[in-house]
Structure 1
Amino acid sequence: MSTFNGLPAHVLLVHVIVVLVPLTAALLILCALWPAARGRLIWPVVGLAVLVTALTPVTVEAGEWFQRQLGMPPVVDEHARLGHQMLYFVPPLLISAVVLAFAHLRQERGKAVGRAAVAVIALLAIATGAAAVWQTYRVGDSGAHAVWNGVLNH
Structure 2
Amino acid sequence: MFSTIMGLPAHPLVIHAVVVLIPLAALGAIVVAVWPAARERYASLVLAVATLALLSVPLATHTGELLEDHVKRTSLVERHTEMADGLLPFAGLLWLGLAVMVFVRWYSARRTVQWGRYLTVAAAVVAVVGAVASGVQVARIGHSGAKAAWHGVATSSSEHGDRP
Tell me the residue number matched to 1:50.
Answer: 51
Show structure 1 runs of 5+ residues with no match: none
> Which TM-score applies when normalising by structure 1?
0.90
| Correspondence 1:21-40 to 2 at 5 A | 21-40=22-41
Bigger drift between 18-27 and 100-109 goes to: 100-109
Give the greater-gyration-radius structure (CA). Answer: 2
CA contact (8 A) 2:97 2:125 kept: no
Bigger drift between 117-126 and 90-99 goes to: 117-126
> In structure 2, what residue type is equivalent to 1:72?
R
Bigger drift between 87-96 and 62-71 goes to: 87-96
Q: 1-side partners of 2:35 and 2:108: how far apart?
A: 14
Alpha-carbon distance change, 114 to 46 in structure 1, aligned in 2, over 3 angstroms:
closer
Alpha-carbon distance change, 105 to 116 in structure 1, aligned in 2, over 3 angstroms:
same
Structure 1 runs (4+) deviating above 6 angstroms are: none
Q: 2-side partners of 1:128 and 1:20: how far apart?
A: 14
Bigger drift between 25-34 and 108-117 goes to: 108-117
* 1:115-135 deviation digits (Å, cap 9, x = unpaired): 433322221111111111111
| Correspondence 1:71-110 to 2 at 5 A | 71-109=72-110
Give 3-state SS (helix, strand or coil) of 1:136's partner.
helix
Tell me the residue number matched to 1:3.
Answer: 4
Q: 1-side partners of 2:123 and 2:16: how far apart?
A: 29
Tell me the residue number matched to 2:160.
Answer: none
Show structure 2 runs of 5+ residues with no match: 157-164
Aligned length: 152
Q: 1-side partners of 2:65 and 2:117: how far apart?
A: 44
Give 3-state SS (helix, strand or coil) of 1:77's partner.
helix
Aligned-residue identity in percent = 34
Name which of 124, 135, 138 aligns with 1:122: 124
> Which TM-score applies when normalising by structure 2?
0.85
Give 3-state SS (helix, strand or coil) of 2:134's partner.
helix
